[in-house]
Structure 1
Amino acid sequence: MVCDKCEKKLTKVIVPDKWKEGASNTTEGGGRKINENKLLSKKNRYTPYGKTKCIICKQQVHQEGKYCQSCAYKKGVCAMCGKQVLDTKLYKQSNV
């Protein structure tokens, strides 16, 4: 659960863009090379398990942020910035 401001940061996609004029993965105009793997060609490769950990449960976070998805939902906060998104005062949640 993320807020509207942090939702724009989630647009990073591993798959290439659709074929269109001026796309970054086209071979024309100095785009990507033929048979080039975009993930391996970059210096900062994508790591599926990030180095950040959840503040509450110390579990590895799969996206950049402060909280894992389960802790963010329990607290009702944005997983990336910690801003209050949802009022969970009247929710019946277990501690498990």
Structure 2
Amino acid sequence: MVCDKCEKKLSKVIVPDKWKDGARNVTEGGGRKVNENKLLSKKNRWTPYGTCTTKCMICKQQVHQDGKYCHTCAYSKGVCAMCGKQVLDTKMYKQSNV
């Protein structure tokens, strides 16, 4: 759960959109190079566990993008996962701790 202001800060996904017109996660140079050697370009690959050191402020779980809260804690508190701004009123919700 992310607020409208932080939605622009979300990182790009690995797989580009199927429709390239207006897609926000397409590289400008037309994608990957022709006859690209994957062993040499391996250093720019995305690693899910390697570089992330950000942890959730509530449960201390590893957060996959730059943010303060994991998705579970952000939804249960009703706050933006990146900036912590109140997004949703969860006062009348019946939620469990699990």
- For residues 89 and 67 of structure 1, do their structure 2 counterparts lie closer, same or farther at Cα, with a shift above 3 Å needed? same
Q: How many residues align?
A: 87
Q: Deviations over 1:40-89 (max 9, x none)?
A: 354xx533232111000000011211100000001000001111000111
**Retained in 2: the 8 A contact 1:24–1:32?**
no
Q: Quick check: which one's helix share is greater?
A: 1
- TM-score with structure 1 setting the length: 0.71
Identity across the alignment (%): 74
Deviation of the 1:35 alpha carbon: 3.1
Q: Structure 1: where are the runs of 5+ without partners?
A: none
State the match for 2:91 in structure 1.
89
Q: Any conservation in 1 of the 2:2–2:81 contact (CA below 8 Å)?
A: yes
Larger Rg: 1
Change (3 A) 1:25 1:56: same
Partner Cα separation in structure 2 for residue 67 and residue 19 of structure 1 = 32
- Name the TM-score, length of structure 2 as normaliser: 0.70
Any gaps of 5 or more consecutive residues in structure 2?
22-26
